[in-house]
Structure 1
Amino acid sequence: MTAPFTELNDRARDVFRIVVESYLDTGIPVGSRTISKSSMVNLSPASIRNVMQDLEELGLLAAPHTSAGRMPTEQGLRLFVDGMMQVAEPSVEERAAIEKQLDGHGPIEAALAATTQALSGLSACAGIVMVPQREPVLKQVSFVRLSDHQLLAIVVGNDGSIDNRVLTIDGRVSDSALEQAGNYITARLAGRSLSQAFAAIMTEINAERAAVDQASADLIRRGLALWSRDGSDRPVLIVRGQANLLDNDAVADLERVRRLLDELEAMQDIAHLLDSARGAKSARIFIGAENKLFSLSGSSVIAAPYRDGEGRVVGVVGVIGPTRLNYARIVPMVDFTAQSLSRLLK
């Protein structure tokens, strides 16, 4: 169990801060000689080594086999970002680079992709954003028989989009029931979103006010439920800047990078991870093994939610990179990006 920040005395905090900040800056384990040259401490190299040994026993530092220096553990990084890190506001240039991507016209997805690309470039990480799920407004719905036990449900949206789903049924449904179900939805519920359509028709069916037979009612219920469930299970994600993960520092750790790139292919799992940041008021930090998805590669995720004009969380934006990140710089940058996206959606 990691020692709390309050348990460290002043000289342990100073030594610990120097080790962490130096390692995050250079990626090189820090030795006692380097620390002794700092104006923050007034200790002999021998005393510094004793303090570093104490910090190692507390689980905050580790000594790689190839070096006599120390580097922070994941637990040490967590203690640092929670209790010692002093964040810096994004620079004027960084804010301008992010906001520039929001000035263009076009689909919201294009702005999200461009903004994520900018965030990736500024942070030297992979940028990622969970896109708000926008349900199509219904224009036409129809059901086509594929076999005795499978139907193809087709939804045409007002924007011209066409979406299909295969619906498995227990027994054969008559052609008249297929036609009746499609016509009913199209005639009565056109102009509504899928969730609105599902809520309205379930109210009518449960109250036995729907002018359809039982077979058509079951088909309508199952068809709309399939879309509703499937839509929530298939979040839209945009990932940009994977090439940033292949920097010069990665050459010595190609296996970790290979694992991270493999993990980035698991879109569904990433969506669940980002979704856990939806309730945060600002950027949330996941370090290494704190999340199972990136435990193999030992990577960190910094993510923050963004909101629509009504204040509802509609997505999450963030970055993914090695645990050796400039957290003090990137955390406020992710926060600023989330705030900028929220302003765009108002």
Structure 2
Amino acid sequence: MTPPPVSELSDRARDIFRAVVDGYVATGAPVGSKTIASASGLNLSPASIRNVMQELEERGLLSSPHVSAGRMPTDRGLRLFVDGMMQASEPSAEERAALEVGIGPGSGPVEQALAATTAALSGLSACAGLVMVAKREARLRSIGFVPLGDAQALAVLVSEDGAVENRVIALSGGMTSSALVEAGNYMSATLSGLTLAEARTRIERELAEGLTAIQGAARDLVERGIAVWSEDGDRRPVLIVRGQSRLIDEGAAADLDRVRELLDDLEGKQEVAGLLEAARAGDATRIFIGAENKLFALSGSSVIARPFRGLDGRVVGVVGVIGPTRLNYARVVPMVDFTAATLARLMGH
């Protein structure tokens, strides 16, 4: 259900609603009329505040877990606040420096830099940080094969940026250690400096045109291996999640079932990747609050995500945070925006 426009609320109702949201975000607990009367500076009696809170509850913007507990914003109320009332707070110089930790000389392989930046975002936002990018087309330095028995071998791919990827592959009958060495030497010599897609094209052309002397089991390994690797690399996005432990804070102690639901959701990375894929369209930050997204409906969690672009202007990934609905949107949204800009620079290097 779409929340009412902010313009439909009186000034008094807006002030009281903002006080409830601010108190709930700060403590995670329902906010009572006496608390607002003593701390908000509104110069209203608790009885007057209760009347307005009742009206806001009837509009679906506030709820009360039980009669004497005070009130807290609903998902609908948080949507109204985020879209129409939030006053963003830009990251400080110290926060910006922490979020740029993955950029610069010596930052290492791209995935390592992405992980460092995501971990920094998690620490600053007190949420789980996440980033999803397309599988990066690394350029190969070498390829080797290590036997794991008669039926399997470990393929070791080393890229020019120092990243190492290991994959177990099945072997056809009669594959000898010397054939593994021959295949590795041939591929390293032939494919060094190429991406996997370029390597596949090169291998297919050389084998089809008889440009190589490699034959038998080694030829079969080269032909099958490069096809599997390049296809897998095209289809598999990189999803990095950092800081899940930050979701278990003091405020979560009384709601462990919700936290367990959320941690289970984060284990299903394919579903999380699907959610982030929905945030790729357009340039704006997307905010999914509670039950607005089916994936996190049971855990009562919010997701803030923003796409970022490469040098060619194409969207290359999505960065964001996952946390309780009571997260500090005014602080975290600009933080996600800045991190997206940081990662855009990283991916442009």
Q: Same fold (TM over 0.5)?
A: yes
Confirm or deny: 8 A CA contact 1:287 1:323 kept in the other structure: yes
**In 2, Cα distance between equivalents of 1:293 and 1:301:** 10
Confirm or deny: 8 A CA contact 1:235 1:268 kept in the other structure: no
Give the secondary-structure state (helix, strand or coil) at the position aligned to 2:296.
coil
**In 2, Cα distance between equivalents of 1:9 and 1:78:** 15
2:64 equivalent in structure 1 = 63
Give the secondary-structure state (helix, strand or coil) at the position aligned to 2:91.
coil
Seen in structure 2, the aligned counterparts of structure 1 residues 222 and 56 have a Cα distance that, compared at 3 Å, is farther
**In 2, Cα distance between equivalents of 1:245 and 1:3:** 28
Picking from 250, 266, 281, the partner of 1:248 is 250
Confirm or deny: 8 A CA contact 2:258 2:298 kept in the other structure: yes
**In 2, Cα distance between equivalents of 1:66 and 1:166:** 62
Letter aligned with residue 245 of structure 2: A
2:265 matches 1:258: no
Superposed counterparts of 1:159-174, under 5 Å:
159=160
Confirm or deny: 8 A CA contact 2:6 2:84 kept in the other structure: no
Which blocks of at least 5 consecutive residues in structure 1 are unaligned? 143-149, 168-184, 212-219
**In 1, Cα distance between equivalents of 2:36 and 2:315:** 44
**In 2, Cα distance between equivalents of 1:222 and 1:276:** 34
Give the secondary-structure state (helix, strand or coil) at the position aligned to 1:254.
helix
2:7 matches 1:4: no
Give the secondary-structure state (helix, strand or coil) at the position aligned to 1:133.
coil
2:313 equivalent in structure 1 = 311
Letter aligned with residue 326 of structure 1: N
Seen in structure 2, the aligned counterparts of structure 1 residues 322 and 162 have a Cα distance that, compared at 3 Å, is closer
CA displacement at 1:135 relative to structure 2: 2.6
Which blocks of at least 5 consecutive residues in structure 2 are unaligned? 145-150, 171-186, 212-221
Seen in structure 2, the aligned counterparts of structure 1 residues 272 and 196 have a Cα distance that, compared at 3 Å, is farther
CA displacement at 1:275 relative to structure 2: 2.0
Seen in structure 2, the aligned counterparts of structure 1 residues 228 and 126 have a Cα distance that, compared at 3 Å, is same
Seen in structure 2, the aligned counterparts of structure 1 residues 57 and 135 have a Cα distance that, compared at 3 Å, is same
Confirm or deny: 8 A CA contact 2:134 2:316 kept in the other structure: yes
1:133 equivalent in structure 2 = 135
Which region of structure 1 is more displaced relative to structure 2, 310-319 or 99-108?
A: 99-108
Give the secondary-structure state (helix, strand or coil) at the position aligned to 1:37.
helix
Give the secondary-structure state (helix, strand or coil) at the position aligned to 2:297.
coil
Letter aligned with residue 269 of structure 1: E
1:74 equivalent in structure 2 = 75
Letter aligned with residue 3 of structure 2: A
**In 1, Cα distance between equivalents of 2:210 and 2:282:** 42
Aligned-pair identity (%): 60
CA displacement at 1:252 relative to structure 2: 0.8
CA RMSD of superposed structures (Å): 4.2
2:22 equivalent in structure 1 = 21
Deviations 1:210-267 (A, max 9, x none): 99xxxxxxxx999877555533543222222222112111111111111111111111
**In 1, Cα distance between equivalents of 2:130 and 2:28:** 24
Give the secondary-structure state (helix, strand or coil) at the position aligned to 2:295.
coil
**In 2, Cα distance between equivalents of 1:188 and 1:101:** 32
Give the secondary-structure state (helix, strand or coil) at the position aligned to 1:89.
coil
Superposed counterparts of 1:212-251, under 5 Å:
227=229, 229-251=231-253
CA displacement at 1:152 relative to structure 2: 9.6
**In 2, Cα distance between equivalents of 1:221 and 1:138:** 17
Confirm or deny: 8 A CA contact 1:278 1:315 kept in the other structure: yes
**In 1, Cα distance between equivalents of 2:256 and 2:327:** 17
Deviations 1:5-60 (A, max 9, x none): 24532222222111111111122211222233355645443332222122112211
**In 2, Cα distance between equivalents of 1:28 and 1:272:** 32
Superposed counterparts of 1:70-109, under 5 Å:
70-107=71-108, 108-109=110-111
Confirm or deny: 8 A CA contact 2:37 2:49 kept in the other structure: yes
2:33 equivalent in structure 1 = 32
1:330 equivalent in structure 2 = 332
Letter aligned with residue 284 of structure 1: R
Letter aligned with residue 113 of structure 2: A
1:174 equivalent in structure 2 = none
2:217 equivalent in structure 1 = none
Confirm or deny: 8 A CA contact 1:141 1:153 kept in the other structure: no
CA displacement at 1:307 relative to structure 2: 2.5
Seen in structure 2, the aligned counterparts of structure 1 residues 192 and 71 have a Cα distance that, compared at 3 Å, is same
Which region of structure 1 is more displaced relative to structure 2, 115-124 or 224-233?
A: 224-233
Deviations 1:89-130 (A, max 9, x none): 111221122224433514322222111121111111111122
TM value normalised by structure 1: 0.77
Letter aligned with residue 317 of structure 1: V
Letter aligned with residue 55 of structure 2: D
